[in-house]
């Protein structure tokens, strides 16, 4: 089960829950499940989020594998200049 | 209003053109003579990207009218290198990685050449004040100053 | 990661586009002309906020030489909300939202005639109340920029101009503050700055009667330009070919579009190519400056220097359209610190100002300025060494960052220790001089890339990639290709393809090109190597697996495979026509694992008590580059960012009058640093390899703008014995403080 950490202001869509456990082997599957459990997050996820898997940031890829005991942090979509 | 007829010399070649009475030398060089080396960064003489040499004097071509250069000698960045070789200033800019985007580089080349013609052995401070009219946003000026100082040393015959 | 040795990486060859640039041959956005070309001028609102009641273009259209006139009515609605805002920023529809907002445009046979036509366009405005300050714009009852875009879950205590809210952090800051021996709580403001690229926006559009278009423009991302313009012009991507010119600076400011749809629409209407060039006034008023900010920071520290809690509230204004950027600042604010209790909140707000776009490290410099100023104040109050205190609290590998993920290998401690040991830190200080210190941080990311590499029959290589070169990346990419192939650097030529010649590439931003295009280049080289080994195997009549690539040549892998002398790349390429056809390697991908980049800056500043002028006496910048492919270009990135930060700290600001109009849209009064303002900038490259890149590369292009704001401010505070809380610290403001 991956441990998913949701950053502070997004907890408004999860009834204040900051950490959930989700069984998913790819980033896409994980985001789909997250949107299913918390419909309020769907818009944010569709607009785009980045994910940090065990500290490594992945900008927006769907099929990045997630390990059994990974920590996944949901972050705003990365931008640069 | 009819255009003004001008005969002048650009980079050693005799040149004739027609221009509006209110057209700048910069616009003439770029739009009528296809010499796009001089750049418009501001149009108000604040950035130095349009620097050219006019009768041996360093000027911002955006502050000179095309009509004013009748009978004059103009040197632009395109005239700095010889047929055979780059000018030492151009070489030292390359060797010192003293350009990034390169938009200010033509103005710097012309301005630095004018400096070294007048003061072949400038101090770092003198180089900085001379080039204060050439804005650069990429390099922070460090490598440009080093390049001009080492070019000056080579041109004086001293070891770099 | 074990230390690798390289043949080419780490050397300082001359850049391939260098001779063109020192001789004036290189073609930038405004340098291209084609026959039959028309010239355009854009009419811009003189009001900060106004309803456009009517626009009468009749007299302008009738002027001899005028071939097309357009307004917002010429642009059809688009589905994508982001694109709609971009389009309405390029040409107003219904309302002018800031001083300088485009309301009409003309294409004519000369720039002069186009300018005359502008004065014949009759616009009737009905002015509306305006707001330009971030805190004023957030207040309930403030003039509203757009309806219905207020950030979700925001209450009635903030106006409808507040488009987003974010919060990051962990722990319990109140508990943390309770454990502090000293708490400092301060509020800060920073003014908006412009990226200040010397080349104004310029493009040349040619939209033919067959619906196909060519667009030449100065941009950091020609694929992004194609996508957005195709959507706005209702064209298919393949029908619009965009070529990136050489770019005269961008720094984030050219990662969007401002004039390109205008050029395309005029070209469509006139049936001729149209050139659009912004003048400097337009660049300041109507391109994309950075945000201005209003921030509150509270940090608690124990007597021994340990930070017990840290809290930040950041309010940013980003101009006249909904946008999202404060989260980048909120994530960066405390990134350099290992904190048990931390919380950052951020709000993005709209105002009647030009639509913001990225500057280097967008959102981070302001936030870090405020945080590092408070850390400095705590150190001085508790009489602690600024670098030792930062070392004590420094983020390291394995630490949970203030924005969530745990750090992998990072180089902050190495930078701090290098600064501590450097002679600059212990040099004596002259009168009226202070020394300032600051950490800085930026994310890097990977993003999409396409690279194609052709092996020519004479043994040279042509590489095509899709990222405009803003820092010397063509040199570094050629170096990585030559290193991977094992051939001399001089045999590789890298060019940037147009959008029709190679697959998609993300924009040149986010400090991503050396990293991401580098990975694609190495992969493309490996693909070409595999093909060349196959050819050698065929020639030697041995198994493919029995051939390996060493030092630029194919050779049998061991004596059992056969006793053939190695075949160099040139030798294999020479017969490629007969062994199977042209040899090439390509790679398309979206690499991640870019890693983050930390920096530490030291600066000595001398403040003249009579004039308030601040001179930079000495500057040393330390930055973790992972692996510096071309050290001179890494130094160049560091030095450039440092000087932009110095300008932002001391002089650069957007000044608005009470009428909401920009008062200083020129280089005379928007004062960027000049050569005589500065000393040499010492750039010290630290290398803690990024495990996510084959050569250890980290992005370097942005981090260096983050520390200077606080470093200079902290130095000034020491020099004058008191602290300012607003940037820029221009001479009148310093004089006022010390009198």
Predicted confidence (pLDDT) per residue in C132-155, tens digit: 999 999 999 999 999 999 998 899
Q: Burial-class residue C454 by CB neighbours within 10 Å (0-12, 13-18, 19+).
A: middle
Question: Are C498 and C437 part of one and the same domain?
Answer: no
pLDDT reported for residue C694: 86
**Chains with 3 or more CB pairs under 8 A to chain B:** C
Token pair listed for A54: 């065990």
Question: Are C94 and C231 part of one and the same domain?
Answer: yes
Each residue of C235-271: pLDDT tens digit? 999 999 999 999 999 999 999 999 999 999 999 999 9
> Which residue is listed with tokens 């390990």?
A67
Which of C15, C16, C22 to mutate to test binding with chain B, by most B CBs within 10 Å of its CB?
Answer: C22
Residue A6 lies inside a defined structural domain of this protein: yes
pLDDT band for A57, please (50, 70, 90 cuts): confident
Question: Are C439 and C499 part of one and the same domain?
Answer: no
Query: Structurally, how many domains does chain A consist of?
Result: 1
CA distance A16 to A12: 6
- At B26 the three-state DSSP class reads helix
The secondary structure of C519-532 as a DSSP string is HHHHHHHHHHHHHH
**Percentage of chain C with pLDDT > 90?**
91
A39 touches chain C (CB under 8 A): no
Which range marks the domain in which residue A31 is found? 2-76
Question: Are C300 and C281 part of one and the same domain?
Answer: no
Question: Are C39 and C74 part of one and the same domain?
Answer: yes
Helical ranges in chain A per DSSP H: 27-37, 42-47
> Which residue is listed with tokens 């209450």?
C155
Each residue of C327-344: pLDDT tens digit? 999 999 999 999 999 999
Q: Which of residues 65-124 of B touch C (CB under 8 A)?
A: 76-78, 80-81, 86, 90, 93-97, 99-106, 109
pLDDT at B26 over 90: yes
pLDDT at C679 over 80: yes
Which of C14, C24, C254 to mutate to test binding with chain B, by most B CBs within 10 Å of its CB?
Answer: C24
CA distance C355 to C97: 9
Q: Using an 8 Å Cβ cutoff, are C407 and C398 in contact?
A: yes
pLDDT reported for residue B160: 45
pLDDT band for C131, please (50, 70, 90 cuts): very high
CA distance C71 to C118: 12
Query: Half-sphere exposure of residue A11, counting CA atoms within 13 Å on the CB side?
Result: 16
Question: Are C114 and C222 part of one and the same domain?
Answer: yes
pLDDT band for A7, please (50, 70, 90 cuts): confident
Question: Are C486 and C568 part of one and the same domain?
Answer: yes
C13 touches chain B (CB under 8 A): no
Residue A60 lies inside a defined structural domain of this protein: yes
Residue range C32-43: mean pLDDT, rounded: 97
If you average pLDDT over every residue of chain C, what do you get?
A: 96
Residue C134 lies inside a defined structural domain of this protein: no
Q: Which residues in chain C are contacts of A28 at CB distance < 8 A?
A: none
**Chain C residues with a Cβ under 8 Å from any Cβ in chain A:** 152-153, 165-169, 251-253, 255, 324-325, 327-328, 331, 343, 345, 357-362, 403-408, 443-447, 509-512, 590, 592-594, 692, 702
Question: Are C531 and C615 part of one and the same domain?
Answer: no
pTM: 0.96
Which range marks the domain in which residue C276 is found? 32-128+199-248+254-286
Residue range C199-227: mean pLDDT, rounded: 96
Question: Are C452 and C552 part of one and the same domain?
Answer: yes
Residue range C570-592: mean pLDDT, rounded: 95
pLDDT band for B158, please (50, 70, 90 cuts): low
CATH number for A71: 3.10.20.30
Going by beta carbons, is chain A in contact with chain B, meaning 3 or more pairs sit under 8 Å apart? no
Question: Are C481 and C560 part of one and the same domain?
Answer: yes
Residue C22 lies inside a defined structural domain of this protein: no
pLDDT reported for residue C179: 97
Residue range C647-655: mean pLDDT, rounded: 98
Question: Are C270 and C384 part of one and the same domain?
Answer: no
Each residue of C180-197: pLDDT tens digit? 999 999 999 999 999 999
Q: Which residues in chain C are contacts of A70 at CB distance < 8 A?
A: none
CA distance C704 to C365: 10
Question: For A9, which of C165, C403, C446 is closest by C-beta distance?
Answer: C165
CATH number for C486: 3.30.365.10
Classify C595 in phi/psi space as left (phi over 0), alpha (psi -120 to 50) or beta.
left
pLDDT reported for residue C565: 95
Residue A81 lies inside a defined structural domain of this protein: no
Residue C188 lies inside a defined structural domain of this protein: no
CA distance B69 to B48: 19
- For strand C182-190 and strand C726-727, is the pairing parallel, antiparallel, or unpaired? parallel
**Percentage of chain C with pLDDT > 70?**
100
> Distance of alpha carbon C460 from its chain centroid, rounded?
33
Each residue of C688-707: pLDDT tens digit? 999 888 889 998 999 999 99
Question: B78 vs C24: CB contact, 8 Å cut-off?
Answer: yes
Each residue of C349-399: pLDDT tens digit? 999 999 999 999 999 999 999 999 999 999 999 999 999 999 999 999 999
Q: Which residues in chain C are contacts of A57 at CB distance < 8 A?
A: 405, 443, 445, 592-594
pLDDT reported for residue C510: 80
Token pair listed for B32: 């009528």
Return the ∠ at Cα C155 (arms to C152 and C158), rounded to 5°. 100
CA distance C620 to C597: 17
Residue C408 lies inside a defined structural domain of this protein: yes
ipTM of the complex: 0.97
CA distance C369 to C333: 9
Query: Structurally, how many domains does chain C consist of?
Result: 3
Question: Are C91 and C233 part of one and the same domain?
Answer: yes
Each residue of C584-614: pLDDT tens digit? 999 999 988 888 999 999 999 999 999 999 9
Residue A12 lies inside a defined structural domain of this protein: yes
pLDDT reported for residue C2: 54
Q: Which residues contact C52 (CB under 8 A, 6 or more apart)?
A: C72, C92, C94, C95, C96, C103, C123, C124, C125
Q: Three-state SS string across C146-187, please? A: CCCCCCCCCCCCCCCCEEEEEEEEECCHHHHHHCCCEEEEEE
Q: Which residues contact C723 (CB under 8 A, 6 or more apart)?
A: C373, C377, C713, C717
């Amino acid at each position: 089960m991956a441990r998913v950490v949701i950053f502070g202001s997004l907890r408004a869509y999860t009834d204040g829950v900051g950490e959930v456990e989700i069984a998913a082997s790819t980033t896409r599957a994980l985001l789909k499940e997250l949107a299913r459990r918390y419909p309020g997050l769907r818009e944010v996820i569709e607009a785009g989020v980045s994910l940090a898997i065990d500290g490594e940031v992945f900008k927006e890829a769907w099929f990045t594998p997630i390990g059994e005991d990974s920590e996944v942090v949901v972050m705003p979509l990365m931008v640069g200049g | 209003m009819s255009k003004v007829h001008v005969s002048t010399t650009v980079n050693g070649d005799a040149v004739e053109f027609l221009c509006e009475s209110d057209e700048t030398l910069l616009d003439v060089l770029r739009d009528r003579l296809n010499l796009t080396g001089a750049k418009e960064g501001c149009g108000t003489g604040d950035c130095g990207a349009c620097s050219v040499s006019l009768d041996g004097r360093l000027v911002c071509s955006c502050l000179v009218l095309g009509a004013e250069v009748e009978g004059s000698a103009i040197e632009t960045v395109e005239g700095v290198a010889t047929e055979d070789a780059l000018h030492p200033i151009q070489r030292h800019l390359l060797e010192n990685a003293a350009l990034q985007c390169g938009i200010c580089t033509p103005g710097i080349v012309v301005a630095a050449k004018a400096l070294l013609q007048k003061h072949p052995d400038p101090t770092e401070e003198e180089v900085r004040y001379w080039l204060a009219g050439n804005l650069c946003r990429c390099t922070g000026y460090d490598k440009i100053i080093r390049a001009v100082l080492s070019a000056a040393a080579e041109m004086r015959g001293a070891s770099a | 990661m074990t230390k690798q040795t390289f043949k080419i990486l780490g050397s300082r060859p001359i850049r391939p586009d260098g001779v063109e640039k020192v001789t004036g041959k290189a073609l930038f956005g405004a340098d291209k002309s084609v026959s039959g070309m028309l010239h355009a001028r854009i009419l811009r609102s003189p009001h900060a906020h106004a309803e456009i009641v009517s626009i009468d273009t009749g007299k302008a259209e009738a002027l001899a030489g005028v071939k097309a006139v357009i307004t917002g009515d010429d642009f059809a609605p688009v589905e994508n909300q982001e694109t709609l805002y971009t389009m309405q920023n390029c040409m107003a529809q219904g309302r002018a939202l800031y001083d300088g907002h485009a309301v009409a445009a003309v294409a004519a046979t000369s720039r002069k005639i186009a300018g005359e036509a502008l004065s014949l366009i009759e616009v009737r405005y009905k002015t509306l109340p305006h707001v330009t300050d971030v805190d004023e714009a957030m207040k309930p009852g403030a003039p509203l920029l757009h309806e219905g875009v207020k950030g979700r879950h925001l209450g009635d205590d903030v106006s409808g101009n507040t488009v987003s809210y974010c919060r990051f952090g962990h722990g319990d800051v109140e508990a943390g503050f309770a454990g502090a021996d000293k708490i400092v709580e301060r509020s800060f403001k920073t003014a908006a700055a412009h990226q200040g690229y010397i080349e104004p926006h310029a493009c040349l559009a040619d939209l033919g009667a067959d619906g196909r278009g060519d667009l030449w423009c100065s941009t950091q991302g020609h694929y992004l330009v194609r996508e957005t313009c195709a959507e706005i012009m209702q064209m298919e991507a393949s029908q619009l070919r965009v070529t990136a010119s050489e770019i005269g600076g961008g720094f984030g400011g050219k990662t969007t579009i401002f004039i390109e749809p205008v050029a395309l629409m005029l070209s469509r209407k006139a049936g001729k190519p149209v050139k659009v060039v912004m003048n400097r006034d337009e660049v300041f008023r109507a391109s994309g400056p950075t945000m201005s900010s209003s921030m509150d920071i509270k940090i608690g520290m124990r007597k021994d220097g340990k930070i017990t809690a840290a809290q930040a509230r950041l309010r940013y204004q980003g101009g006249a359209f909904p946008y999202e950027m404060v989260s980048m600042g909120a994530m960066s604010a405390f990134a350099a610190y290992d904190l048990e209790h931390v919380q950052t909140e951020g709000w993005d707000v709209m105002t009647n100002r030009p639509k913001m776009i990225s500057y280097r490290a967008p959102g981070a410099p302001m936030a870090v300025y405020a945080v590092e100023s408070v850390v400095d104040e705590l150190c001085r109050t508790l009489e602690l060494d600024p670098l030792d205190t930062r070392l004590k609290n420094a983020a390291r590998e394995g630490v949970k960052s203030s924005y969530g993920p745990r750090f992998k290998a990072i180089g902050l401690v190495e930078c701090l220790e290098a600064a501590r040991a450097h002679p600059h830190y212990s040099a004596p200080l002259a009168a009226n001089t202070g020394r300032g210190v600051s950490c800085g941080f930026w994310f890097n990311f990977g993003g999409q890339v396409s690279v194609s590499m052709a092996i020519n029959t004479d043994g040279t290589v042509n590489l095509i990639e899709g990222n405009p070169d803003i820092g010397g990346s063509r040199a570094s990419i050629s170096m990585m290709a030559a290193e991977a192939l094992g051939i001399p650097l001089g045999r590789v030529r890298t060019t940037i393809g147009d959008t029709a010649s190679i697959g998609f590439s993300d924009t040149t931003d986010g400090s991503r090109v050396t990293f991401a295009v580098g990975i694609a280049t190495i992969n493309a080289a490996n693909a070409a190597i595999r093909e060349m080994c196959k050819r050698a195997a065929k020639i030697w009549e041995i198994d493919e697996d029995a051939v390996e690539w060493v030092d630029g040549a194919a050779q049998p892998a061991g004596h059992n495979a056969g006793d053939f002398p190695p075949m160099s790349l040139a030798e294999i390429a020479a017969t490629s026509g007969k062994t199977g056809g042209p040899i090439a390697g390509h790679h398309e991908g979206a690499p991640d694992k870019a890693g983050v980049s930390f920096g530490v800056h030291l600066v000595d500043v001398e403040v003249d008590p009579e004039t308030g002028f601040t001179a930079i006496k000495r500057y040393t910048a330390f930055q973790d580059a992972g692996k510096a492919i071309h050290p001179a270009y890494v130094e160049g990135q560091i030095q450039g960012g440092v000087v932009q930060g110095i300008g932002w700290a001391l002089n650069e600001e957007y000044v608005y009058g009470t009428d909401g109009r920009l008062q200083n849209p020129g280089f005379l009064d928007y004062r960027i640093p000049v050569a005589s303002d500065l000393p040499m900038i010492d750039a010290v490259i630290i290398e803690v390899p990024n495990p996510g890149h084959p050569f250890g590369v980290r992005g370097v292009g942005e981090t260096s703008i983050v520390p200077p704001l606080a470093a200079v401010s902290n130095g000034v505070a020491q020099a004058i014995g008191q602290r300012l809380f607003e940037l820029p610290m221009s001479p009148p403001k310093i004089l006022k403080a010390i009198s």
